[in-house]
């Protein structure tokens, strides 16, 4: 099975073009102001106009409907990724309200975390397994931290899922071989500084994932 590749936290035209040229399947636009990768809906508009076939995923943290609605309209979003404390009811509400696939990101440390999340969010369109942020870390994602991928040998979600957290050019091949992830998602692993995407790393990441 071909692993889909999402490059998250795209903020500039040149890095969006790098995502397109590399042949990734999706990119993420961050609509969370504290993130170093944050965009406003208006700032997303010129990016959204490029690469009509590229899936644009809006990433939100406990956002209200007004922000999500503005981002959907300006960002040509094809999916919503929820990275906050949203529960199953909020997932269902957003699916109905916007008619878009809703991905639920969950912080994972143990096999039990995976099983619980898959049970709780069985109604989501995709479960994104990310590393659980440690104490004192303020962002719920984009931290460059990985969880022990071997726990997925015990418990793979019986629903569409993706792997995120601490992936890099060097580790993505091993991650795919170990877990069989149908989708991989990277942010800080293809950056030269927080929030600054590196065009060469984007290309190398997609190549390494495709080779796996």
Ligand X SMILES: O=C(O)c1ccccc1NCC(=O)[C@H](O)[C@H](O)COP(=O)(O)O
Nearer to ligand X, 61 or 80 (CB): 61
By CB under 6 A, how many residues form the interface with ligand X?
27
CB-CB neighbours of 134 under 10 Å:
10
We find the least distance from the C-beta atom of residue 51 to ligand X, in angstroms, to be: 18
**CA–CA separation, 198 and 37 (whole Å):** 13
When binding is defined by CB under 6 A, the residue of 76, 143, 179, 208 that contacts ligand X is 143
The answer to whether 11 contacts ligand X (rule: CB under 6 A) is: no
| Catalytic annotation present for 27 | no
15 binds ligand X (CB under 6 A): no
The dihedrals phi and psi of 82, each to the nearest 5 degrees, come to -105, 120
CB atoms within 10 A of CB 193: 9
Instruction: Mark the segment that binds ligand X (CB under 6 A) among 11-19, 31-39, 119-127, 152-160.
Output: 31-39
Q: How far apart are CA 128 and CA 38, in angstroms?
A: 20
Q: Considering only CA atoms, which of 119, 72, 127, 123 is closest in space to residue 100?
A: 72
Q: State which of positions 75-134 bind ligand X (CB under 6 A).
A: 83, 130
Catalytic residue status for 8: yes
How many helices (H) does the chain have, and how many strands (E)? 7, 10
Pick the piece of the chain touching ligand X (CB under 6 A) from 12-20, 39-47, 113-121, 139-147.
139-147
Distance CA 164, CA 8 (A): 10
Applying the rule CB under 6 A, the residues between 37 and 56 that interact with ligand X are: 37
Tell me which residues are annotated as active site: 8, 130
Residues within the interface to ligand X (CB under 6 A): 8-9, 28, 30, 32, 35, 37, 59, 61, 83, 130, 139-145, 164-167, 185-189
């Amino acid at each position: 099975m071909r692993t889909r590749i999402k490059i998250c936290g795209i903020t500039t035209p040149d890095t969006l073009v790098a995502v397109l040229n590399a042949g990734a399947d999706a990119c993420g636009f961050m609509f969370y102001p504290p993130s170093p990768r944050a965009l406003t809906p208006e700032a997303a508009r010129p990016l959204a106009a490029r690469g009509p076939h590229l899936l644009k995923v809006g990433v939100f943290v406990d956002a209200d409907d007004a922000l999500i609605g503005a981002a959907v309209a300006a960002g040509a979003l094809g999916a919503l990724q929820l990275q906050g404390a949203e529960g199953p009811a909020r997932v269902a509400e957003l699916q109905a309200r916007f008619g878009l696939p809703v991905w639920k990101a969950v912080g994972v440390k143990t096999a039990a975390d995976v099983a619980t999340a898959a049970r709780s969010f069985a109604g989501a369109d995709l479960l994104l397994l990310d590393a659980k942020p440690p104490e004192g870390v303020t962002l719920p994602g984009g931290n460059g931290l990985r969880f022990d991928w071997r726990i997925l040998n015990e418990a793979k979600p019986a629903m569409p899922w993706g792997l995120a957290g601490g992936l890099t050019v060097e580790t993505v091949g091993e991650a795919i071989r170990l877990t069989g992830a149908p989708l991989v998602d990277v942010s800080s692993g293809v950056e030269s500084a927080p929030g600054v995407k590196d065009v060469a790393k984007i290309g190398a990441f997609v190549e390494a994932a495709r080779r796996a």
